[in-house]
Each structure stands twice: as structure tokens, then as C-alpha cells.
Structure 1
Amino acid sequence: MLVVCLGNICRSPLGEGALRAALAVAGLASQVRVDSAGTGSWHAGQAPDARAQACALRHGVDIGAQRARQLSAQDFFDFDWLLCADADNLAAARALAPPGLESRAVLWLEWAGQGQGAQLPDPYYGSDADFGQVWSLVSAAARVTCQRVAR
């Protein structure tokens, strides 16, 4: 499972953290590889946004060791699912996909049953409450993802 957003410093690190935590609770952590990436390279090598780290810590999850990286075509071979935050990320991911692997990239919230076209809002220019909203959404999506993995 690869969680994908724009810069890999807000939404996808929170998603990676929530997914790792949910998989651990479900006893599936050793069975699923989890990572995150961004469609852009602006923040490559950087830690998650301090507000994202603080938000995750409030929920008992430490994402501080994560480092941003850019999505690559190789990710389509390395991961069964690329869980995209929004429609722009989905389009960018699919544009990188090797022929025949485009369907591995999905809108995560939609794939997790949260509604047709459901997307993660980008909290970068927002408040702590916006990061909290993203955490709530990725936590719910992570639980559904665990249920799908367990089947």
C-alpha cells in the first residue's frame, strides 16, 4: 500500500501513519508493506509538516521519521495499491503508470467506501483543525483498508 498526495508532507504521511497503526491493531502489520510518496518533488528528503507530526502524535502515532519522496513508475511494480489523496494526485499517478498498471492507482477514500469521488482535502494552508479532519478521514479509510486486506 502506497499513500500518495502532492508533496508527501501532510496527507500521505498522515495516511501512512494511520494505515500502519490500523494494520498493527489488526495484527496485519507484518503482511503489508506501507509507504507514502508525493507526485511532486518539492519536499523530497524533508520530514512531514510539523502540524502533521503534531496531529499524528495527538493520536499516539509518530510519523517524524518519515521522509518525503517523489512517486515513480517503479512504485507500480512495488505496490499493489497506490492510494491517492485527490483526483489531481490520481491523474498524476496514472500518467506515470507503466502500461496495464494504471488501475493500481485509486482515490483512497472512494476505494474505502467513503463515497463516489471522495477526496482528502489538503490542509497545508489550513489550521490544526484541518489536519485533524484529514486524520479522521485517513483513520476511517485505514480501518476499511485493513478489512479489505484481511479478506
Structure 2
Amino acid sequence: MIKVLFVCLGNICRSPMAEAVFKQQLREQGLTETIEVDSAGTGDWHLGKIPHEGTRRLLDEHGVSYEGMRARQVRLSDYHDFDYIVCMDSNNERDVRQLFGSKCDGHPKVFKFMDLLPERKTPDVPDPYYTGNFEETYELVSEGCAKLIDRIRLEKLQ
């Protein structure tokens, strides 16, 4: 089983949106038995909470399930438990690398989500908690999740 973890700040907007969209895409491609996904936050402010209402509204509009999702914080054990740790912005990546320590320095399993979309020329997935633009985040997440599936197919499923 290949395991993917999406990470943002509070685990109520971007990373749960990515988790839900990625799960949907995995279902559509028949990969749910091959790839597992989760999400987490670097902060502890929203532990146990369901995704933000803006994330839920947008996922509902697109028919994407977020059932059973609750915010959790990144754990040290996540480094060993996941094959891909995808951080939604530069600060999340810095915090994750700090938590995991020197063992992840330069390791390709930890990377920024926008590295999947270099043609977009933006370094980070904007946080709709602050911008209010959940649609922009959904568009980036949908496109990036599809690219991540392609990457996993190339790296792990051949």
C-alpha cells in the first residue's frame, strides 16, 4: 500500500480538501486498494474538527465526500508511515522538515504541493481560511492531485 499525507496549517481547509479530492480521483481510477491518503496540520488549533464550512460547501458542490474527516496534527511517526508527504505551502514544508529533523533533509518524500504544478508559477497553495477563495484552492488541488497520481504511477506502480 502506497500512503500519501497532505499537510497544511490547521487541517481544516487545504489539506482535507486535497485528501477528499485525491480519494475521489483514486475511486474514479480504481486505485483505492493501492493508494491510501490522509491529511494533517502543523498546528493544533482545530484538532478533532470537521473541515471548514467553505471547504465542505465546495466539496458538496462538486459531489466529493469528506465523510469521517477530522483535523489532526502531524506526528513524528508520519515520516515512517507515509511514502509521500505533500505540504501545501513553504511554511508547512519548513515546519514538517523541522519536526522530522535531519533524516528528511533533501529527502524527496517531503515536498510542496505546487512542485506538482510548476507551470502555475506560484510557490504555495493559497490558504482560503485567509483569502476566502475556496474555488481557487479547489482548482489547484484538483489539478495537482491528478498530477500526483501520475507521479505515483511512474514511481511506484510500474
TM-score (norm 2): 0.88
Shift of residue 17 of structure 1? Answer: 0.7
* Aligned mate of 2:47, from 35, 44, 49: 44
Q: Which has the higher strand share?
A: 2
Is contact 1:110–1:117 with CA below 8 Å preserved after alignment? no
Is 1:143 the counterpart of 2:146 in the alignment? yes
Which structure 2 residues correspond to residues 1-151 of structure 1 after superposition, within 5 A? 1-102=4-105, 103=107, 104-115=109-120, 118-127=123-132, 130-151=133-154
Corresponding letter in the other structure for 1:2: L
C-alpha contact (below 8 Å) 2:116/2:147 kept by paired residues: no
Identity of aligned residues (%): 35
Residues 9 and 46 of structure 1 are in contact (CA less than 8 Å); yes or no, is this contact kept in structure 2? yes
Partners of 1:5 and 1:19 lie apart in 2 by: 15
Cα shift at 1:115: 4.9
- Distance in 1 between residues matched to 2:15 and 2:113, nearest whole Å: 11
Find the residue that maps to 1:125 and give its secondary structure.
helix
Larger mean Cα displacement after TM superposition, 87-96 or 114-123: 114-123
CA distance in 2, matches of 1:116, 1:132: 18
Cα distance in 2 for partners of 1:51, 1:117 equals: 22
Shift of 1:64: 4.1
Structure 2 distance, partners of 1:62, 1:27, is 16
C-alpha root-mean-square deviation of aligned residues, in Å? Answer: 1.5
For structure 1, the residue ranges without an aligned partner over 5 or more in a row are none
Offset from partner CA, 1:79-122 (integer Å, 9 cap, x none): 01110000000000000115423422110121344456621000
- Deviation of 1:138 after TM superposition, in Å, equals 0.4
SS of residue paired to 1:43: coil
